[in-house]
Amino acid sequence: MIFLKLILTNLRRHRIRSFISVAGISFSVAAMLTVVTILQGAIGMFSGILSSDSEIIVFERNVSDLFFSNVPTAAVEEIAKWSMVSHADPVLFGIVSSANHPIITCFGVTSTDARIRKATWIAGDRFAYSQHADDVVLGERAAEFLGAKLNDHVPIGHGVFHVIGILKTANGFEDGGVFMPLSSAQSFFHKEGTSSVITIKLRDKGDATLLKSMVKTKFANLIALEDVEFTRSYSQFRILKATAWAVGGCGLLMGGLGVANTMIMSVFTRIREIAILRVNGFSHLQIAAMIFGESAVVSLLGAGVGLMTGICLLFVLKLVPALHGYVDVTIQPLVMLIVIMLALLTGIAGALYPAVYAMRVRAVEALRFE
Amino acid sequence: MNLSTTPASGSAHIVLRAVDVWKSYDDGAIEVLKGVNFEAIEGQTVALCGPSGCGKSTLLHLFGGLDASDRGHVSVNGIEVNRYRNLLQLLRHEVGFVFQLHNLIPDLTLAENCLIPTVAAGIDRHVALARLQQLADRTGLTHRLGQCIQKLSGGERQRTALCRALMNKPKILLADEPTGSLDEHTSGTIFELLLDIVATEGVTLVIATHDRVLAARCDRLLEMHDGRTYEPVHA
């Protein structure tokens, strides 16, 4: 109890300094949580597009980005015939632009694709999809920012398209995207005879290994991965995740420097007290534990406040119409645990030098310190 | 003539011994102690008198293991003090310090300040609280145990420091000008209390003081000058 009071004493004594340190850590934690959660949400959404009513994704081997992947239509047709395949849907990804909107994701899909079949159609008839080459279906958010209604003609890229439907999905990418008949998309993006990926639903999930093996044998330049494998191995996702953690890590590093500064000041201002504790039998380890304890309290307080701030921020971001579907407020316990541990580690790292300094305080000299 | 090696009683147990202790500062430029020899027996009260800067505090620091001598040996109960594990054992169980400035932690209460040595030594809280109550009764601080240090008078603070120093039942109490910052009346009261408690507890007291009247009430009085201790020669 007294040891805890000794830890808390200095934090109470210099409230503003303690507050600034806690704020530094909490801002870092909030930033890390927000960035990581948003990016993981984005990755989850992109994975969701690929795994919509499917378990396997087939794409061109060794491409850095699925937008550059080319899967021949012949491969789609052959794989669709395999006995273990329930259905195989080709999807062509493209980036288009319109006035004031430089980037709109475009999905070239067939009328039987789950993205068309299972979406909630706000306007239009899904059975009209793919009747004409210049028909498009807009996601709800795309319709909003393009200011388009059913039967409008909207300029997209170098063409003008007829809006035959507006659909709503839970996925931000899809909601902000444009759906074109596959053949129209192939023509529009000059990718005749190819798609970016094939998403495959199996009759029996246990056949996944067999299908992967068959793809490898039959199509040397293609690769088949289960959704989980793809999410784990896709380089773009890895880069995004690494970036998120790096950005958060930089924030925590700043927070850690704040803690280090606070702890150094703390040790300098209580050097006489440290000497008194030494004279009264405190060991080096007990002195260090006191300093580390102080930084741990700052870090954990900062982590707690930061987590709450981050969660509130994510909820607010979720309410922003422009970000609808992009922000997933589902915070994974593992992410929270990692963030807390990183904050704690940062605090401890920040207290390393001050603790060593405090351990080296010579009582006889420090007692003369005014 | 260095006479301070002569203890008060020939057959009594020597608890504190210094043999040919030298200490200098600034790489030897300032020689403070020049071959001090000292012995104190169990329960004895020894006063060190001398002008400022003569080395009284330095000698007490060496006795308590707070500083290391350049040469010579200091031992408590026959154990060399300047080795780490012995030093912790020494500070936790063998010696207690009282300084001129009370050196209490202002944000803690009187009781909490007194309990610090027991926390350091890992002494059971119930045992520690019983000991605190005993010492508080002896020093008249019982009614002030929950008070913050800022609310205590100078005399109460020094009595608190005395309680803290005696919490772990040390065998030696090293007091460095314990009454130096108090008025004459309070100073006399504290000194009386100090002598009374060390006598009751059987503690060996080594006290550095300017006050020769108070020093004369100890079992032995040693003069310090020219880096050595001397028994005063009475006419």
Within a 10 A sphere around the Cβ of B187, how many other Cβ atoms?
21
For B184: left if phi > 0, alpha if psi spans -120 to 50, otherwise beta; the answer is alpha
Would the pTM of this model clear 0.80, i.e. be above it?
A: no
Task: Work out the burial of residue B25: count CB atoms within 10 Å of its CB; fewer than 13 is exposed, 13-18 middle, 19 or more buried.
Answer: exposed
Confidence band (pLDDT; 50, 70, 90) for B234? Answer: low
With an 8 Å Cβ cutoff, are A281 and B92 in contact? yes
Within a 10 A sphere around the Cβ of A313, how many other Cβ atoms?
18
Instruction: Say what the pLDDT of residue B207 is.
Output: 93
Interval B101-130: pLDDT, tens: 888 988 889 999 999 999 999 999 999 999
Is the model's pLDDT at B235 over the cut of 50? no
Residue with tokens 């508080």: B136
Instruction: Identify whether the C-beta of residue B141 lies closer than 8 Å to the C-beta of residue B110.
Output: yes
With an 8 Å Cβ cutoff, are B107 and A276 in contact? no
Instruction: Identify whether the C-beta of residue B56 lies closer than 8 Å to the C-beta of residue B50.
Output: yes
Distance CA A368, CA B32 (A): 17
With an 8 Å Cβ cutoff, are A13 and B107 in contact? yes
A14 touches chain B (CB under 8 A): no
Instruction: Say what the pLDDT of residue B165 is.
Output: 93
Tell me if B35 is assigned to some domain. yes
With an 8 Å Cβ cutoff, are A280 and B91 in contact? yes
Residues of chain A with pLDDT under 50: none
Tokens of A269: 């201002």
Q: What is the mean pLDDT of residues B42-64?
A: 90
Residue A95 contacts by C-beta under 8 Å, 6 or more apart in sequence?
A: A67, A103, A104, A105, A106
Interval B196-207: pLDDT, tens: 888 898 999 999
Chain A nearest C-alpha distance from B235 (Å): 38
Tell me if B73 is assigned to some domain. yes
**How many residues are given for chain B?**
235
Instruction: Identify whether the C-beta of residue B181 lies closer than 8 Å to the C-beta of residue B103.
Output: no
Mean pLDDT of chain A: 86
Task: Work out the burial of residue B87: count CB atoms within 10 Å of its CB; fewer than 13 is exposed, 13-18 middle, 19 or more buried.
Answer: buried
Distance CA A133, CA A131 (A): 7
Substitution target from B67, B107, B174 for chain A, most A beta carbons within 10 A = B107
Using an 8 Å CB-CB cutoff, list chain A residues near B176: none
Tokens of A339: 């963030």
Confidence band (pLDDT; 50, 70, 90) for B86? Answer: confident
Mean pLDDT of chain B: 86
Instruction: Say what the pLDDT of residue A1 is.
Output: 76
Is the model's pLDDT at B2 over the cut of 50? no
Residue with tokens 């494998």: A229
Tell me if B8 is assigned to some domain. no
Q: In chain A, which among 237-296 make CB contacts under 8 A with chain B?
A: 272-273, 276-283, 286
With an 8 Å Cβ cutoff, are A280 and B164 in contact? yes
| Domain of residue B124, residue span | 14-230
Q: What is the mean pLDDT of residues B153-180?
A: 91
Using an 8 Å CB-CB cutoff, list chain A residues near B172: none
Which letter does DSSP use for residue B69 in this model? -
Tell me if B6 is assigned to some domain. no
CA A54 from centroid of its chain's CA atoms: 22
Interval A72-121: pLDDT, tens: 999 999 999 999 999 899 999 998 877 777 778 899 999 888 888 888 89
Distance CA B110, CA B157 (A): 8
At B65, is the secondary structure helix, strand, or coil? Answer: coil
Instruction: Say what the pLDDT of residue A212 is.
Output: 92
Residue with tokens 């009284």: B56
Q: What is the total count of domains within chain B?
A: 1
ipTM over the 0.85 cut-off = yes
A370 touches chain B (CB under 8 A): no
| Best CA proximity match to B98, nearest among B185, B15, B163, B193 | B163
| Best CA proximity match to A87, nearest among A127, A56, A129, A47 | A56
Tell me if B45 is assigned to some domain. yes
Distance CA B121, CA B138 (A): 23
Interval B203-221: pLDDT, tens: 999 999 888 888 888 999 9
Tell me if B222 is assigned to some domain. yes
Within a 10 A sphere around the Cβ of A300, how many other Cβ atoms?
16
Distance CA A332, CA A271 (A): 43
Instruction: Say what the pLDDT of residue B179 is.
Output: 82
Is the model's pLDDT at B1 over the cut of 50? no
Instruction: Say what the pLDDT of residue A18 is.
Output: 85
Looking up residue B184, the CATH number of its domain turns out to be 3.40.50.300
**Of B2 and B39, which is predicted with more confidence?**
B39
Tell me if B3 is assigned to some domain. no
Is the model's pLDDT at B31 over the cut of 80? yes
Confidence band (pLDDT; 50, 70, 90) for B9? Answer: very low
Using an 8 Å CB-CB cutoff, list chain A residues near B115: 2
Interval A207-221: pLDDT, tens: 999 999 999 999 999
